[in-house]
Amino acid sequence: MAAEQDPEGRAAARPLLTDLYQATMALGYWRAGRARDAAEFELFFRRCPFGGAFALAAGLRDCVRFLRAFRLRDADVQFLASVLPPDTDPAFFEHLRSLDCSEVTVRALPEGCLAFPGGLGEGGVPGLEVPGPSLVATNAARLRLIAGPEKRLLEMGLRRAQGPDGGLTASTYSYLGGFDSSSNVLAGQLRGVPVAGTLAHSFVTSFSGSEVPPDPMLAPAAGEGPGVDLAAKAQVWLEHVCAHLGLGVQEPHPGERAAFVAYALAFPRAFQGLLDSYSVRRSGLPNFLAVALALGELGYRAVGVRLDSGDLLQQAQEIRKVFRAAAAQFQVPWLESVPIAVSNNIDEEALARLAQEGSEVNVIGIGTSVVTCPQQPSLGCVYKLVAVGGQPRMKLTEDPEKQTLPGSKAAFRLLGSDGSLLMDVLQLAEEPAPQAGQELRVWPPGAQEPCTVRPAQVEPLLRLCLQQGQLCEPLPSLAESRALVQLSLSQLSPEHRRLQSPAQYQVGGRPLQAPVDSLCAGASP
C-alpha cells in the first residue's frame, strides 16, 4: 500500500492538514535537540456521542494511509517558512524535508470495534496510540439499531456533506456502521461500498408526454418472441388500472408516464417509480402500475417505488393495500411484495416510526441525519502525551476531568459466558493481563473502593498495526470491518443499546456505568 501505488492514499495524505502549533513545537523540539526523542500519545474521548452508551472505532485505514504517505514536499516546506519567523535556521527546513513516519508505531482499536469513553479523568481506553472513534459510523450504528435488522438503509447524503472529502468519508463510515448501501458512486469505486439509487424528480418532470422514444420496442425477458411497443402496452394497462382504482384515464400525468416508460426501457429488469412528482394516488401510482404491469406481461418485474414527501408511513400502508388488491385483480402475485422506499429528512424519531411493527416500508433513504450528525456535530476527541523516552508524563490541572493517566497502557475487553460485554479494563502495559475464568479486582471510575468481576472471555483491545512505519498485518477490508461492527453490536445488552442515556448494569451486586473503562488494580488470587 505504498503511496506511489495508492492514488487514494496520495489524495488523503496532506501533511499540512494540521494545526500551526505542531510546526512551531517541531521547531522548539529541534532547537532543544529533542527532535528524535521517542514519545507516546493517546487519542480518546470523554463522553459517548448523542447521549448514548457507545461509539464505533473507525478511520484506521485512512490513518495508516496518511502515515505511510507522509512526506513534506518543497511547496509544503516553503509555505511553513513563510509562516514561521523569518530568522528561523535554514537547517530546520532541511530537517523537515527529511521527515517521514518510518519510525512510527501505532496500536489501535480494530476498525469497527466498540469504543467507550473514560470516567476517571482522561483515562478511557485509547482508540489510538501515537484512528479513533467515528461520529458518522456511530450515528449510522444508532440508526441501524433503531431501524432493526429487516429494513434496508440507504445513505444518500452526499449533497449534504461538508465537501467532497466529507461526502466520501460519510458514505464509507455509514456503510461500516450498518447501512446497506450508498448513493455515492465514488465510495463504490474507491472503498467498495455497495451503491444504489432510484431517480430524481427532475427526470420525471423533464418529460411532457409528447416525447417519442427512438426505439419503443422491448423484447420479452426470456429473449424469445417479437418486441413490444412498451409505451402502447402501458397505455392499454393504464385503462385497466384506472378502472380498477376508480380514476379517469386522463387523470394520471402523461409526462410522468412517459418518464416511467423511458426508465423502464433503459432498466427493464430494475424498473422503479418515484411516485410523488405530481399526485401519488391520482398519478404516480396508476402510472407506475401501468408500466409495471406492461413489463410483467413481458416477463419482467418492477423492483420498487419511492416516496419523498407527505406522511410516509400512512402512504406506504395505502400503497401496499393497492398493490395487494391489484395483484389479486390482475393475477400477478409478485406485485404484492414490490419494495416501498421512502426518504425526506428522516431523523431518529421519524425512523422509529417508519420501523415500527406493521410498517410497510422496506427501504429507508437517509441523508442529512446520518452524514451531518445534527444531534452532535463533533465528538470532542483528545490527543495527549503519556510518555517520553519510556518515562510517564501526566497532565495535572485544576479540572479533574482533564487530568491524564500517565504511562504506556494495555486494554482488554471482558465478556460474559454468553458473549455479552461486561466492561473494558485499562491497565499499565507491564501489568499481567487478565485471564478468562479468574477473578479480577478493578476500580470503576469515580468509585471509592474496588469491585470484582470474573470474565468468561478476555479480548486484547489495542492491536499492533504499524511498527517502525511498516504494516504488521494487512488491514481488514471495509466488509470485514462492517462484520465486526455487527458482531460488536450483538454483544451489547439491551441496557447498552439504550440510545438516549448511558445504561446501568450490575456487576457483583453494584450498579456501574455501562460500559466501564476501569483502571485495573490487579487480579485477586
398: helix, strand or coil: coil
Range with the poorest average pLDDT among 57-71, 87-101, 228-242, 439-453: 439-453
Phi/psi of residue 239, nearest 5 degrees: -65, -45
Report the distance separating Cα 290 and Cα 233, nearest Å: 8
Q: Are 129 and 41 contacting, i.e. CB atoms less than 8 angstroms apart?
A: yes
Question: Is domain 198-344 given the CATH code 3.20.20 in the classification?
Answer: yes
Report the distance separating Cα 485 and Cα 476, nearest Å: 12
Q: List the grid coordinates of 453.
A: 468481576
Question: Residue 508: its pLDDT value, please?
Answer: 30
| Other residues' Cβ atoms within 10 Å of the Cβ of residue 206 | 13
Q: Are 58 and 131 contacting, i.e. CB atoms less than 8 angstroms apart?
A: yes
pLDDT top residue among 405 and 152: 152
Q: Where are the domains of the chain?
A: 7-142+376-522, 198-344
pTM to 2 decimals?
0.79
Whether the pLDDT of residue 522 is over 50: the answer is no
Whether the pLDDT of residue 339 is over 70: the answer is yes
Instruction: Write the pLDDT tens digit of every residue in 155-192.
Output: 999 888 877 678 888 999 999 999 999 999 988 988 89
Question: Is domain 7-142+376-522 given the CATH code 3.20.140.10 in the classification?
Answer: yes
pLDDT top residue among 464 and 230: 230
Question: Residue 249: its pLDDT value, please?
Answer: 96
Question: Residue 269: its pLDDT value, please?
Answer: 94
Question: Residue 504: its pLDDT value, please?
Answer: 29
Whether the pLDDT of residue 3 is over 50: the answer is no
Average pLDDT over residues 447-475: 88
Question: Residue 498: its pLDDT value, please?
Answer: 59
